[in-house]
Structure 1
Amino acid sequence: MASIKLKCLTKTENKLQLGVWIIDPELDTFIEQPYYFLQALYDAAKEKNTGEILSLNRNDLTDAEWVINNAHLYVEDVWLIDAKNYPVDESVFALEDSQYQKFWKDLDKVPYAEFELTVTDPKWVSHIKQNTTWESMAGFVGY
């Protein structure tokens, strides 16, 4: 199951503005780190089976130590621009199971943030166009 849903809001040569929704209650925070977005960029390429980022070794991306130590070679900078529905109101965790599951599927209610990210080379985001949407397990390092 995916932990986040992403949408490319704007794109320039080496910058993306991304909308990010947390869609898995196990991930309770946004992670403003290059490794988080390196994994997400890879997942976007994997979904469409295209993009230079697929030249990265999948085994490296599942190695938490490698990802944390090397992500900056691909994702130069990450900025949290804005967030809403964040943190999740404690009352959500008291909902009965069916309502709880329904909550995490409603993109108007789940935590949402906008990030700007800069990559070291435009080829790492060549597979992403404005309005591209995808899901990712990013957030669980070494998934």
Structure 2
Amino acid sequence: MHEYTSKARVWGLSCPGFPEEVSRARRWTRDILRGSPLAEDAELIVSELSANAILHTASGRGYGSFHLAVAVSAQVVAVSITDDGGTATAPKVEHQDQDAEHGRGLGMVSAIAHRVVIHDSDQGHTVTAELYADALRGGQPC
């Protein structure tokens, strides 16, 4: 194998910050992961993170957008949503009671994913959720 060849594949999609783009991001993720046992979880995570970007950041204002990346290897599926920022604080997991109407989405993502990483920069926030294939084969989630 050539030293610059990798078995990991990465796809990217940029979407305008309109609510209907959440379903587009979901379908796009589903198409990439067709046949993967992690596809449904990844699709749900993309839906939640995309909606959060539109609702809570500059991505949902005026000419805003959000960016989705899906990385796939034999060991992991990682989905990342990068928003346009515009908020004073980075996203964080909040544990709300089950009757709460808002604030439970990132908690749900962290319950589904094996690892969630949040990066904050001057240009926006990136939330990456990782799903491990080993956990499906009887291994323990990391």
> TM-score, structure 1 length as denominator?
0.31
Larger relative contact order (Cα-Cα within 8 Å, sequence gap ≥ 6): 1
